[in-house]
Amino acid sequence: MNQLAVLILTKNEEQNITTAVQNAQLVADEVIVIDSGSTDATRELAMKAGAKVARRAWNNDFAAQRNFALEQTTAEWVLYLDADERLNEALVQGIKKAMAADDRTKQYRLERKSVAFGQEFSYGVLYPDQVARLFLRTTVHWVGKVHEHPECNLAAVNLPGYARHYTYTSWQQWEQKFSQYTSIWAQNAYENGKHITLPAILGHALAGFGKMFLVRQGYRDGWLGIYMCCNHFFYTLLKYLKLYELQGKGKA
């Protein structure tokens, strides 16, 4: 039985997948790629790099993909990574130490530092965050179609080091994710009975901007940080406008 499986969700990641698998192999007994219907060479490159590839059709549900990944391994521990994340040496050593300890009362969080458009961010929308990613396989379940999160009752411990998250490389990529995530969020919110009014939409958007610009000090990342705070205003505005539109169609 493998001790640690690294699980990577992908779709059209041929630019990232080889280095993602190679980086994951620094800590993994096996690397499993869950492909959501790539039309490029993602699957072939992943297998060539030494990963196992499983396919699941994309249905606008990130949590479902992550839960499906759990069914593809018998490893005792699982580590979730994205194709655009890379473990640094301190984090690699921290994961190895955690696996050697094999403490079954804990889950583990790692720090992510975002790199977008060639710049590393320290504040605002893309500030460094702690995300739970390393679990005993049988203790975790994911929920949420977008901005999904794990449910695990074990005590959470922070690992040393960090993972660089190479998120947006072009504005076209950002625009595609902007549209995809706001649509998934609105549909999920509507199905869960959430309602919104036009004045509240503006209030949410302004509050979102204030949080990123002032509370998280997004302005300290320079003009690009300020621009990302403005984008967050429009992201929040659009996701609620899409919810409002669905409400109107539901009443028609």
Give per-residue pLDDT as tens, 178-199.
Answer: 999 999 999 999 999 999 999 9
Distance CA 226, CA 215 (A): 13
Distance CA 242, CA 188 (A): 11
Residue type, 203: G
Confidence of residue 17 (pLDDT cuts 50, 70, 90): very high
pTM: 0.84
Tokens, residue 72: 């593809």
101 pLDDT more than 80: yes
Q: Mean pLDDT throughout 19-41?
A: 97
